[in-house]
Amino acid sequence: MKKTLTLMTILVAFATMMSAQNVEAIEKTMSLGKQTGVYIEVEGGEKDDLKDMWKDYMKHFGKTKHNKKAKEYHTENVRIPVISSSNSVDLYAIFEEGRNQATAYVWAVSDGEFVDDSKGLQTFVQDYYIIARKQVINKEVKKQEKILKKLDKRMGKLIKKNTGYHMHIEKAENKIRKAEENIEKNLNDQDEMQAELIKQKELLDMIVEKLNNIGKN
pLDDT tens figures, 53-70: 999 999 999 999 999 999
What is the pLDDT of the chain when averaged over all its residues?
88
| Domains of the chain listed by start with CATH number | 2-145 (3.30.310)
Where do the H-state alpha helices sit in the chain? Answer: 2-19, 47-58, 119-213
Euclidean distance between CA atoms 45 and 104, whole angstroms? 10
Euclidean distance between CA atoms 69 and 134, whole angstroms? 30
Enumerate residues 6+ apart whose C-beta is below 8 A from 28: 34, 35, 37, 39, 94, 105
With cut-offs at 50, 70 and 90, classify the pLDDT of residue 214: confident
User: HSE on the CB side for 82, CA within 13 Å?
Assistant: 10
pLDDT for residue 217: 64
Inform me whether the pLDDT recorded for 45 exceeds 90: yes
Enumerate residues 6+ apart whose C-beta is below 8 A from 79: 61, 88, 89
With cut-offs at 50, 70 and 90, classify the pLDDT of residue 188: very high
**CA-based nearest residue to 79, from 51, 106, 122, 108:** 108
Between vectors from CA 96 to CA 90 and to CA 99, what angle results, nearest 5°? Answer: 150
pLDDT for residue 118: 72
| DSSP label of 82 | T
pLDDT tens figures, 66-92: 999 999 999 999 999 999 888 899 999
* Contact yes or no for 42/129 (Cβ under 8 A): yes
